[in-house]
Amino acid sequence: MSSSSSSLLLSLSLFLLLSATANAAHPNFIITIVNNCPYAIWPAIQPNTGQPVLERGGFYLDKLSHRSFPGPQQHWSGRIWARTACSNSNGRFCCATGDCAGRIECAGAGGAAPASLAQFSLNQGGDLDLSSYGVSLVDGFNIPMTVTPHEGKGNCPVVGCREDLLAACPSELQLRSPAGQGPVVGCKSGCEAFGTDELCCRNNYNSPATCRPSSYSEFFKHACPATTTYAYDSPSLMHECSSPRELKVIFCQ
């Protein structure tokens, strides 16, 4: 074998070894959305600005079923929630909670409050391939949800809200469908219900020193302590998990 052929073979072997090492350090991972509810939901996915839309931003998911798809290969941040009681009314798709501009595939559009949210910052890079995740009730509650990482390293707890808060929701926070007369389908945040600067943590209240928990956020916190319930809630509620092979978002667990 010529010296040039040997050099080429050595270079190819080195390339394959480095590729395998990189793939072992940063393996592909899967996102699975599970519907354990006794009714259908329409999961929605919204990326943060500049991030790609995953799975066209939303889809139908039948009761007691799941859907898995590849996680993003680059850094990605955004949120996942469930839309409930969706239907086509007068030729327009709409949902009682979490509606995203009347679309089945949200295509990056945000959802209407109240909605329980899973928040993510994935593939953050560095020496460890960190994924941050948490569950937020800052925008209110519509359905129980948890986030479960699998085969990750470090601090990778199951977090979220397993309780169905609709029955106990204070009357002033209740969202009913049809409006004012139907069953309770969502529980609003204090900000959504009253719109004050203090409850919304804006203007003079937009800082950790002035944005404080309210009786309304404490209702959510008492039932679901492992969730964020107001804008400047504890940052420790966002957990960092290194190199998970799968992230499960489970509704009605």
Write down how long the chain is. 253
Residue 222 to residue 229: CA distance in whole angstroms: 10
Residue 228 to residue 145: CA distance in whole angstroms: 13
Q: For residue 5, is pLDDT > 80? A: no
71-125: pLDDT as tens digits: 988 889 999 999 999 999 788 899 999 999 999 999 999 999 999 999 999 987 6
As a whole-number percent, the residues of the chain with pLDDT over 90 amount to: 72
* Predicted structure pTM score: 0.86
Contacts of 27 (CB under 8 A, 6+ apart): 243, 245
Residue 250 to residue 253: CA distance in whole angstroms: 6
Task: Decide: 80 and 33 in contact? Cβ < 8 Å.
Answer: yes
Q: Is 121 helix (H, G, I), strand (E, B) or coil?
A: strand
Residue 117 to residue 103: CA distance in whole angstroms: 18
Residue 167 to residue 204: CA distance in whole angstroms: 34
Structural domains in the chain, CATH included, are 27-162+227-251 (2.60.110.10)
